[in-house]
Amino acid sequence: GAVVSQHPSRVICKSGTSVKIECRSLDFQATTMFWYRQFPKQSLMLMATSNEGSKATYEQGVEKDKFLINHASLTLSTLTVTSAHPEDSSFYICSAWTGYNSPLHFGNGTRLTVT
Amino acid sequence: AQSVAQPEDQVNVAEGNPLTVKCTYSVSGNPYLFWYVQYPNRGLQFLLKYITGDNLVKGSYGFEAEFNKSQTSFHLKKPSALVSDSALYFCAVRSHPYSGAGSYQLTFGKGTKLSVIP
């Protein structure tokens, strides 16, 4: 149980375009989802906390107008990278939990390459 | 602020030998501690957690970890390493919800690359 599905797994886009990444909890309801960014050979950086039915909470230094997060239902959160630039190329991972005492369950990540 | 330190960027161990991946933490109040494993171009997989109770926690794939409060450590161990254990390992911490302090968000260490040599 507690499966998180993330799509797409890999995307290549041109500079200036927008890319949407979907994160779904398949067998549980997730009122809270987390979006991380991972640079090569580095740890995960929390970008934002996505709460169903309300605005996301962004970490310091993360541009909320560039990284749009929508959590419209208890099983779906989306991250849209707007007007992507090559420096946005990275590995983006979503996660969710079933409760505070539970571990985070992670999607398989999305490798974004902006050319 | 809470933090996690994984002092080793890389650990090399021969197949069949015991392995240890080190982790120390800093958090206000009682800690919730986790270990995750990441294979290339994949998300993180949960291995084990410490919430309360026995200091020795057993997890997936034969891994275990020992919580040491006095040393604020939560080292990951396995008695006999397999080549398939080669991956990136992350330790993470968050504070107990009733400790009245700290963040419910998970803070990750920088990761330790484990290489098991055949």
User: pLDDT tens digits, residue range A55-98?
Assistant: 899 999 999 999 999 988 889 999 999 999 999 999 999 999 87
| Partner A contacted by B31 (CB < 8 A) | no
CB contact under 8 A, B43 and A46: no
Among A4, A91, A103, beta carbon nearest to B34: A103
3-state secondary structure A78-107: EEEECCCCHHHCEEEEEEECCCCCCCCEEC
Q: How far is A89 from chain B (nearest CA, A)?
A: 14
| Partner A contacted by B44 (CB < 8 A) | yes
Per-residue pLDDT, B45: 93
Among B43, B104, B109, beta carbon nearest to A109: B43
Q: Which residues contact B23 (CB under 8 A, 6 or more apart)?
A: B4, B5, B6, B33, B35, B65, B73, B74, B75, B76, B91, B109
Q: How many CB pairs under 8 A join A and B?
A: 47
CB contact under 8 A, B104 and A100: yes
Q: How far is B108 from chain A (nearest CA, A)?
A: 7
CB contact under 8 A, A93 and B109: no
Q: Which of A35-39, A100-104, B114-118 bottoms out in mean pLDDT, i.e. has the lowest?
A: A100-104
What is the rounded CA–CA span in Å between residue B96 and residue B103? 9
User: For the segment A40-51, what is each residue's pLDDT rounded down to a tens digit?
Assistant: 777 889 999 988
Strands A10-13 and A110-114, bridge-based pairing: parallel
Q: How far is B49 from chain A (nearest CA, A)?
A: 7
pLDDT band per the 50, 70, 90 thresholds, residue B103: low
Chain A residues whose CB is inside 8 A of the B111 CB are: 42-43
Q: By CA distance, what is B48's nearest residue in A? A: A103
What is the rounded CA–CA span in Å between residue B41 and residue A14? 21
